[in-house]
């Protein structure tokens, strides 16, 4: 098995956490985002969306981190805990994955990553507005409010239940983007508790997210002076 991954990409890091948690041996292929390695025609054969991560398992070649997490859970979770089979428990896991993709990570990414500095400026169009705007902040805090409500309402240790599931990974890697810019979670006590609990209880999984966080944090502090329009091959750069 191979995972094409980018060192500071939350979706990639979530897949790496799942692979580690499930004890799966695989080859990690680092895709150099800044060199546009995901923009080549070779990479487009793996993922026409030209996004990272991509999983290759025999003849299965697939992007979209949620689908990767679900596949890994279906195929390799012998405990039945990471991705439960029981319909209701599974539905909650699926719900949290969808919530992360559609609202939580999306709004965090729009606010944090797009703006973290200029090096990430030739990523998805959602990152093209580099300024952290009051509207972006509002959307992000609404997403945090919602996640806090889910955790408070269910009163569970993890995002979908009282055991760690595949839903925790992308929610954790999204939340680490906030830590990377030193955005405090005190206003969302259930999110803060869940996040700190994960770090404490799963240090080896946290370590994977932490590596990405460090890179994002360095970018935040020392923004490289690169402009989107200098990108050699991104099809969405201005004036192309």
| Interaction site with ligand GSH (CB under 6 A) | 6, 9, 11, 38, 51-53, 63-65, 123-124
Smallest separation (angstroms) from ligand GSH to the CB of 119:
12
Distance CA 175, CA 198 (A): 11
Identify whether the C-beta of residue 15 lies closer than 8 Å to the C-beta of residue 208.
Answer: no
Smallest separation (angstroms) from ligand GSH to the CB of 15:
8
- Whose tokens are 């400026």? That residue is 121
Smallest separation (angstroms) from ligand GSH to the CB of 9:
3
Beta carbon nearer to ligand GSH, 123 or 159? 123
Identify whether the C-beta of residue 18 lies closer than 8 Å to the C-beta of residue 43.
Answer: no
Cβ-based neighbour number of residue 72 at 10 Å:
24
Smallest separation (angstroms) from ligand GSH to the CB of 47:
8
Beta carbon nearer to ligand GSH, 139 or 193? 139
Beta carbon nearer to ligand GSH, 109 or 190? 109
Smallest separation (angstroms) from ligand GSH to the CB of 20:
18
Helix runs in the chain, H state only: 10-21, 41-46, 65-76, 87-99, 105-111, 134-154, 168-180, 189-201, 203-221
Distance CA 73, CA 122 (A): 32
Beta carbon nearer to ligand GSH, 178 or 190? 178
Distance CA 169, CA 129 (A): 27
* The pairing of beta strand 27-30 with beta strand 60-62: unpaired
Beta carbon nearer to ligand GSH, 34 or 133? 34
């Amino acid at each position: 098995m191979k995972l094409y991954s980018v060192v500071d990409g939350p979706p990639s890091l979530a897949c790496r956490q799942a692979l580690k948690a499930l004890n799966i041996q695989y080859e990690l292929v680092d895709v150099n985002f800044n060199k546009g390695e995901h923009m080549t025609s070779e990479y487009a054969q793996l993922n026409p969306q030209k996004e990272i991560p991509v999983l290759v398992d025999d003849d299965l070649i697939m992007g979209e981190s949620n689908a990767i997490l679900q596949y890994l859970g279906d195929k390799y979770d012998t405990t039945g805990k990471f991705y439960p089979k029981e319909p209701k428990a599974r539905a909650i896991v699926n719900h949290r994955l969808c919530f992360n993709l559609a609202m939580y990570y999306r709004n965090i990414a729009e606010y944090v990553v797009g703006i973290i500095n200029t090096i990430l400026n030739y990523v998805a169009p959602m990152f093209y507005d580099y300024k952290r705007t009051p509207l972006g902040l509002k959307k992000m805090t609404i997403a945090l409010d919602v996640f806090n409500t889910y955790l408070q309402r269910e009163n569970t240790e993890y995002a979908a239940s009282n055991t760690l599931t595949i839903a925790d990974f992308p929610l954790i890697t999204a939340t680490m983007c906030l830590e990377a810019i030193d955005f405090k979670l005190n206003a969302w006590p259930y999110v803060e508790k869940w996040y700190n609990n994960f770090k404490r209880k799963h240090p080896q999984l946290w370590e994977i997210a932490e590596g990405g966080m460090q890179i994002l944090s360095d970018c935040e502090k020392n923004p490289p002076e690169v402009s989107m329009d200098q990108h050699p091959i991104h099809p969405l750069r201005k004036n192309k």
